[in-house]
């Protein structure tokens, strides 16, 4: 549509829309920086593989439970801040202001809740996966399997496909490659870590990539503020960043009046403040306090004190995305208004190939247009680091859940060798399913990738949060109540999610003719309703049926006697031991699957009660330091939220 709005809807002809992307691509210096980055990460990964015993379940899936606070905290941050954050959070800033940063600051409170409330219970239970905790807490297998399968679907819908799409979008803008070719490249990059490294390699490479992400994003933030003219120029310029080509007589492309407000109108805004406080906290509690990707890193800490220290480091780091990612995204709208904030579907289709909007290109465009040679390569490394850290974490945790909770339910006598082979093969299934889901991600939520992630989360995660919350802190919750609360809650949530896909939100110039449940009930309010429905079902069914057995609730308050989950498992029966070539031996070592020598195949035993008690023990002086930091972190968070509220 070759028109531009001028004074009360009067239109006039204009030149053709901006050309897609931009002419800037990576140069020789940028390629050199990328090569150095890959060599660094390979060195860290190889070093961690050499120093870690990856041939046991604890060694491969929990890094031997020997991690200190700083790699745990860095890995938590890197696992959370994927390429979807750099693309999606900056895109939401460009599209609607600072509102979406509430998800990040809400995560600060929830990761602290993990360290101080939930993690002691998980450690005392001696579990490796979150579905396994539910099996110990409630008994039976159906709730465990339900949660395990649901977690895998959530990983596909809101994590793997989103991060692959975001990383591929950046590579597409930088190298002008087809987006699916970029996806294949990204998957090839992550394959080595996923198959060979184990959790220890993932955590240490995450720590290295966290440093790269912070340095690169802060450098870009500095360049952005210099280019736009400082803080006041950002405040003034954002409100005036209106694209030249717009749909006449509509609000398309006009920045929100409340762009710099965190708490917005409870009825008519994009992120109502009651929903931010309550509706946002419930799915966030699932992600930070009971999601395998996050909790698995905390369980790898050598003691509870180190796990708490990791949570604190993550909480402090979570303050940075507002300054290092969201504000540069808003600056990108000011500097490249017509390209980033395009408001006409035809123009957006020409610019970025997505008719619903191009705000998700804000961060990538800033990198490619603003930074000099060399720094562009560094930011390319930052995006790949974000992608690799999140994908390897998710692949490792997803394979853990499938192997330990799904496969072992049907193959109770499977050897550890079989379990580790199955975990690796399952990664391929996840990859294929995620690639197939990318077109849906691309077309959802008006070009705001970050909002897509959060809306899907509010349809699937609240019932799980309620189950874990009641399971941990209400003794009367039983298996029947948990199962039926989860089942009914997920049915209701899936209905709303399907309606969202069937009736997508209209563009700004179109009439909203969606059903009332979509038109008038914000997804954050729906999260509150879904949580209440699940809570009522769990409480009513639990009170109407038998009480849980004493041994199911004792782990809430003291160390659980270890269950003989796989005490008699061996790597390989002695009659299967045979010689093999050096090549095959090297391949086994690369995958962390060295076979035991004949006569040396000791059974793998769960941690003894004394070992679990040591994990929970905290030295008084260190505990005091950690608690002081907790109070300080909460005060800083309260100030930041209050200032922008």
Query: What gap in Å lies between CA 358 and CA 348, rounded to an integer?
Result: 6
Q: What mean pLDDT, rounded, does the chain reach?
A: 77
pLDDT at 493: 92
Grouping H, G, I as helix, E, B as strand and the rest as coil, residue 11 is strand
pLDDT at 26: 66
pLDDT at 15: 37
% pLDDT > 70, the chain: 74
Whether 417 has a pLDDT exceeding 80, the answer reads no
Highest-confidence segment of 77-81, 470-474, 528-532: 528-532
pLDDT at 11: 33
When mean pLDDT is compared across 50-54, 87-91, 179-183, the lowest value belongs to 50-54
pLDDT in tens, 346-403: 888 888 777 778 888 888 888 888 888 888 888 877 777 777 777 777 777 888 888 8
pLDDT-derived band at 413, boundaries 50, 70, 90: confident
pLDDT at 611: 53
pLDDT at 62: 58
pLDDT at 566: 28
Beta partners for residue 67, in sequence order? 301
pLDDT at 160: 74
Structural fold of domain 3-447: Sodium/glucose cotransporter (1.20.1730)
Of 307, 301, 248, 249, the closest CA to residue 113 belongs to: 307
Higher pLDDT, 82 or 311: 311
Grouping H, G, I as helix, E, B as strand and the rest as coil, residue 349 is helix
A 10 A CB-CB count for 407 gives 19
- Enter the DSSP assignment of 457: H
pLDDT at 540: 96
pLDDT at 2: 36
Whether 419 has a pLDDT exceeding 60, the answer reads yes
pLDDT-derived band at 224, boundaries 50, 70, 90: very high
Question: What is the domain partition of the chain in residue ranges?
Answer: 3-447
- Quick one: angle between helices 161-175 and 449-460, nearest 10? 170
Locate 173 and state its tokens: 């803008």
pLDDT-derived band at 532, boundaries 50, 70, 90: very high
The number of CA neighbours under 13 Å toward the Cβ of 76 is 39
- 4: part of which helix (H) or strand (E)? strand 3-6
pLDDT-derived band at 22, boundaries 50, 70, 90: very low
- pLDDT average, residue stretch 293-312: 88
pLDDT at 25: 63
pLDDT in tens, 245-287: 877 767 778 888 888 999 989 988 888 999 999 989 998 998 8
pLDDT-derived band at 52, boundaries 50, 70, 90: low
pLDDT in tens, 53-83: 555 555 555 555 678 888 899 888 988 887 6
- pLDDT average, residue stretch 417-426: 75
Highest-confidence segment of 104-113, 285-294, 334-343: 104-113
pLDDT at 583: 53
The number of CA neighbours under 13 Å toward the Cβ of 219 is 18
Whether 129 has a pLDDT exceeding 60, the answer reads yes
pLDDT at 112: 95
pLDDT-derived band at 179, boundaries 50, 70, 90: low
When mean pLDDT is compared across 182-186, 473-477, 528-532, 587-591, the lowest value belongs to 587-591
pLDDT in tens, 198-221: 566 677 777 888 888 888 899 999
Locate 601 and state its tokens: 């195949």
pLDDT-derived band at 50, boundaries 50, 70, 90: low
pLDDT-derived band at 10, boundaries 50, 70, 90: very low
pLDDT in tens, 482-511: 999 999 999 999 999 888 878 877 777 778
pLDDT at 483: 94
Query: Rounded to whole angstroms, what are the CA distances from 388 to 158, 210, 384, 418, 518?
Result: 16, 11, 6, 26, 35
Query: What gap in Å lies between CA 66 and CA 301, rounded to an integer?
Result: 6
Query: What gap in Å lies between CA 441 and CA 310, rounded to an integer?
Result: 32
pLDDT in tens, 539-555: 999 999 998 887 777 65
Locate 357 and state its tokens: 């909007």
Higher pLDDT, 563 or 602: 602
Whether 5 has a pLDDT exceeding 70, the answer reads no
pLDDT-derived band at 178, boundaries 50, 70, 90: low
When mean pLDDT is compared across 51-55, 83-87, 162-166, the lowest value belongs to 51-55
Query: What gap in Å lies between CA 558 and CA 606, rounded to an integer?
Result: 17
Higher pLDDT, 355 or 14: 355
Question: How many residues does the structure list for the chain?
Answer: 645
When mean pLDDT is compared across 120-129, 435-444, 560-569, the lowest value belongs to 560-569
pLDDT at 551: 73
A 10 A CB-CB count for 373 gives 15
% pLDDT > 90, the chain: 24
pLDDT-derived band at 233, boundaries 50, 70, 90: very high
The number of CA neighbours under 13 Å toward the Cβ of 428 is 4
Within 8 A by CB and 6+ apart from 89, the residues are: 100, 101, 104, 321, 325, 326, 329, 450
| DSSP secondary structure of 271-294 | SBHHIIIIITHHHHHHHHHH-HHH
Of 103, 99, 326, the closest CA to residue 221 belongs to: 326
pLDDT-derived band at 423, boundaries 50, 70, 90: confident
| pTM confidence score | 0.80
User: Angle at Cα 312 formed by Cα 311 and Cα 318, nearest 5°?
Assistant: 90
Whether 23 has a pLDDT exceeding 70, the answer reads no
Higher pLDDT, 335 or 568: 335
- pLDDT average, residue stretch 594-619: 52
Whether 17 has a pLDDT exceeding 50, the answer reads no
Q: How far is CA 71 from the centre of its chain?
A: 17
| DSSP secondary structure of 457-523 | HHHHSHHHHHHHHHHHH-TT--HHHHHHHHHHHHHHHHHHHHHHHHSPPPPTTS---S-HHHHTS-H
pLDDT at 335: 93
């Amino acid at each position: 549509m070759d028109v531009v709005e001028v004074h009360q809807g009067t239109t006039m002809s204009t030149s053709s829309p901006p050309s897609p992307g931009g002419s800037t691509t990576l140069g020789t210096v940028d390629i050199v920086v990328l090569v150095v980055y890959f060599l660094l990460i390979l060195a860290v990964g190889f070093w961690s593989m050499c120093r870690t015993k990856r041939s046991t379940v604890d060694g491969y899936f929990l890094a031997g439970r020997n991690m200190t606070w700083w790699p745990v905290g860095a890995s938590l941050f890197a696992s959370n801040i994927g390429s979807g954050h750099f693309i999606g959070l900056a895109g939401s800033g460009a599209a609607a202001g600072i509102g979406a940063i509430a998800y990040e600051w809400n995560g600060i409170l929830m990761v602290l809740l993990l360290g101080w409330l939930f993690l002691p219970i998980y450690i005392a239970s001696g579990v490796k996966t979150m579905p396994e905790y539910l099996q110990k807490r409630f008994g039976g297998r159906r709730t465990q399997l339900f949660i395990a399968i649901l977690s895998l679907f959530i990983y596909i819908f809101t994590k793997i496909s989103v991060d692959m799409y975001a990383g591929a979008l950046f590579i597409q803008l930088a190298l002008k490659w087809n987006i699916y070719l970029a996806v294949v490249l990204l998957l090839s990059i992550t394959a080595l870590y996923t198959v060979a490294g184990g959790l220890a390699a993932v955590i240490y490479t995450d720590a290295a990539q966290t440093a790269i992400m912070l340095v690169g994003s802060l450098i870009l933030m500095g360049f952005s503020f210099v280019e736009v003219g400082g803080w006041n120029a950002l405040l003034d310029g954002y409100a005036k960043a209106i694209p030249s080509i717009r749909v006449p007589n509509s609000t398309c492309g006009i920045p929100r009046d409340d762009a710099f407000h965190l708490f917005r109108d409870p009825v008519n805004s994009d992120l109502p403040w009651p929903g931010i406080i309550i509706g946002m906290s419930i799915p966030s509690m699932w992600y930070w306090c009971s999601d395998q990707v996050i909790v698995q890193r905390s369980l790898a800490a050598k003691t509870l004190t180190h796990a708490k220290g990791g949570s604190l480091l993550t909480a402090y780091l979570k303050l940075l995305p507002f300054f290092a990612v969201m504000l540069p995204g808003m600056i990108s709208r000011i500097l490249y208004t017509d390209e980033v904030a395009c408001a006409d579907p035809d123009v957006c289709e020409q610019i970025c190939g997505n008719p619903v909007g191009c705000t998700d290109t804000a961060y990538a465009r800033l990198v490619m247009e603003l930074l000099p040679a060399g720094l562009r390569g560094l930011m390319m490394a930052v995006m790949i680091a974000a992608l690799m850290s999140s994908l390897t974490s998710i692949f490792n945790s997803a394979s853990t859940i499938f192997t330990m909770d799904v496969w072992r339910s049907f193959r109770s006598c499977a050897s550890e060798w079989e379990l580790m082979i199955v975990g690796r093969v399952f990664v391929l299934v996840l990859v294929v399913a995620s690639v197939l889901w990318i077109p849906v991600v691309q077309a959802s939520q008006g070009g705001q990738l970050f909002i897509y992630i959060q809306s899907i989360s509010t349809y699937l995660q609240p019932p799980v949060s309620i189950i874990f919350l009641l399971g941990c802190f209400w003794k009367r919750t039983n298996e029947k109540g948990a199962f039926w609360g989860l089942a009914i809650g997920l049915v209701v949530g899936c209905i709303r999610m399907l309606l969202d896909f069937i009736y997508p939100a209209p563009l700004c110039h179109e009439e909203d003719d969606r059903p009332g449940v979509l038109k008038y009930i914000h997804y954050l309010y729906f999260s509150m309703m879904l949580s209440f429905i699940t809570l009522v079902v769990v409480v009513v069914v639990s009170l109407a049926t038998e009480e849980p057995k004493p041994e199911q609730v004792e782990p809430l308050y003291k160390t659980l006697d270890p269950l003989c989950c796989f005490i008699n498992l061996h790597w390989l029966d002695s009659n299967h031991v045979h010689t093999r070539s050096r090549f095959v031996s090297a391949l086994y070592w690369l995958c962390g699957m060295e076979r035991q020598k004949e006569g040396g195949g000791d059974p793998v035993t769960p941690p003894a009660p004394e070992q679990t008690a040591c994990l929970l023990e905290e030295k008084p002086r260190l505990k005091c330091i950690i608690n002081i930091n907790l109070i300080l972190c909460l005060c800083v968070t309260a100030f930041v939220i209050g200032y922008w509220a």
